Structure 1
Amino acid sequence: MTAAVSGLLTGLALIVAIGAQNAYVLRQGLTRTHVGLVVAICAVSDALLILIGVSGVGVLVQESPAVLTALRWIGAAYLAAYGARSLWKARRPQALDPLESGGSGRRTVVATTLALTYLNPHVYLDTVLMLGSVANQYGDGRWLFAAGAVCGSVLWFTTLGFGARAVSPVMRRPGTWRVLDVVIGVVMIALAVMLLLG
């Protein structure tokens, strides 16, 4: 049981940090646009990456620096473009209409969620390598550790996506969206710069 609790806490510690994926889940939760789909993609992807790391594949990824370098450049370009788009949207913010779907189609939402998940090298470093390394220190208990980490991921994304509705009344003001778009844009661009700087 200690391994499972350790996995839960370690998984939460790594995933709760504000990043591109979390910012997108929050935005979808606030606009109530395909929230269940976004939460499911993020949670299932995290579970898959955690299981890959615990099964020992993290060592193979670590020994392929060319793959991580390619992901770093692609991820940085994507994050910078997403950040610039958020800053552009901040010029003319719109109030949140809780009855509106947000205007994003299912395909766009799926593609964006997958891109923000799998084009981010930090996902592989944190989830596959870091969690995989920590889990393997538990020997046979590593699968309990993995189960705890997966539960942490599901708990976080569900809370972030569906909990965002609680603050939706505040988000009816266009000024709040301007601040959110600026913060998201700055975070995305900062993450892109950090990726490029190594």
Structure 2
Amino acid sequence: MLTESLHTALTGLFFQLTVIVGVGPQNIVLLRQGVRRWGVGLVVAVCTLGDLILLPAGTAGVSVVVERMPGLLEILRWGGVAYLLWFASTCLRDVRHPTPIDTSGTAPGQDAVLPASGSGDTDLPTVGTDAGHTGATAVATLPARTAVRSRAVTRLPALAALPTALAVTFLNPAAYVDGMVVFGSMANQYEDAGKWVFTTGALVGSTLFFICLGYGARLLSRPLSSAKVWRWINLGIGVLMIAMAARLAMMG
């Protein structure tokens, strides 16, 4: 029994990896955030949350509802086609004017916060002569509000990635077709507990993939940050998005 459950879980894991490894809007956003080196953890969390919602929903029988309402399926399908073609157009547009990706770890438009000259509240420690000890120096401790300000500045880049992560996760109709209809149909081939074991394996696969993709891109941010590299990446993505849109359009 245990061996059978393990086999089912591994089947779900490998099935999800074969589906999710395909280049899509969600993976591209995660790849870009990894190269930029900011907001990676947040984007990984949002992508994982999306699968935690969509995959069990498909397993629970949402796919059956969609199959009984072909009109809803058509809306999702053609919405996915439009979304993929729009995403392809943005990638192909970037091929003409590629720009290197900033790997400094700060969000676009985010400048470093420096203390104002002559300000009484400086973020830098001050070194001076202690009047009570000749030749001795004393370093002033940083104000508590400086630490609070530093933490707020550090959080801003991560929060800047949130709207895009939510959009490619929950506003992408293709994700509902693949995550609920396709996956739900596959999971429901198993009986009772088996379909949930299959789903659990798939969720583990999704989580591992998102973590490896995001933080792997972060480790390779230097070679992946050049404009020349992204010219070819965007070209390949654009062509793949058009192919995926065509495949989705012919599913009906």
The alignment's TM-score, normalised by the length of structure 2, stands at: 0.69
Tell me the residue number matched to 2:122: none
Tell me the residue number matched to 1:101: 106
Q: How does 1:136-147 map to 2 (within 5 A)?
A: 136=188, 137-147=190-200
Offset at residue 156 of structure 1 (A): 0.6
State the distance in 1 between where 2:7 and 2:249 align. 37
- Bigger shift: residues 37-46 or 84-93: 84-93
Offset at residue 173 of structure 1 (A): 2.4
Asked if the contact 2:76–2:176 (Cα under 8 Å) also holds between the matched residues in 1, the reply is no
State the distance in 2 between where 1:78 and 1:119 align. 9
Tell me the residue number matched to 2:66: 61
Q: How does 1:146-157 map to 2 (within 5 A)?
A: 146-157=199-210
Q: Are 1:116 and 2:168 an aligned pair?
A: yes
Amino acid corresponding to residue 49 of structure 2 in structure 1? V
Gaps of 5+ in 1: none
Indicate the structure (1 or 2) with the bigger Cα radius of gyration: 2
Q: Are 1:22 and 2:75 an aligned pair?
A: no
Offset at residue 126 of structure 1 (A): 3.0
Deviation digits for residues 16-63 of structure 1 (CA, Å, limit 9, x no counterpart): 122222222212222224222211111111121111112122110122
1:135 and 1:172, CA in 2 relative to 1: closer, same or farther beyond 3 A?
A: closer
Match of 1:76 among 57, 75, 81: 81
More helix by share: 1
Amino acid corresponding to residue 27 of structure 1 in structure 2? R
Tell me the residue number matched to 1:164: 217
Gaps of 5+ in 2: 1-5, 110-156
State the distance in 2 between where 1:91 and 1:65 align. 40
- Bigger shift: residues 67-76 or 101-110: 101-110
The alignment's TM-score, normalised by the length of structure 1, stands at: 0.85
State the distance in 2 between where 1:32 and 1:87 align. 24
Q: Are 1:191 and 2:196 an aligned pair?
A: no
Match of 2:52 among 47, 52, 56: 47
1:4 and 1:62, CA in 2 relative to 1: closer, same or farther beyond 3 A?
A: same
State the distance in 2 between where 1:195 and 1:142 align. 25
Offset at residue 163 of structure 1 (A): 0.8
Asked if the contact 2:39–2:159 (Cα under 8 Å) also holds between the matched residues in 1, the reply is no
Asked if the contact 1:35–1:162 (Cα under 8 Å) also holds between the matched residues in 2, the reply is yes
1:171 and 1:134, CA in 2 relative to 1: closer, same or farther beyond 3 A?
A: closer
Asked if the contact 1:50–1:128 (Cα under 8 Å) also holds between the matched residues in 2, the reply is yes
Asked if the contact 2:76–2:177 (Cα under 8 Å) also holds between the matched residues in 1, the reply is no
Offset at residue 100 of structure 1 (A): 4.2
Percent of aligned positions that are identical: 40
State the distance in 2 between where 1:66 and 1:185 align. 29
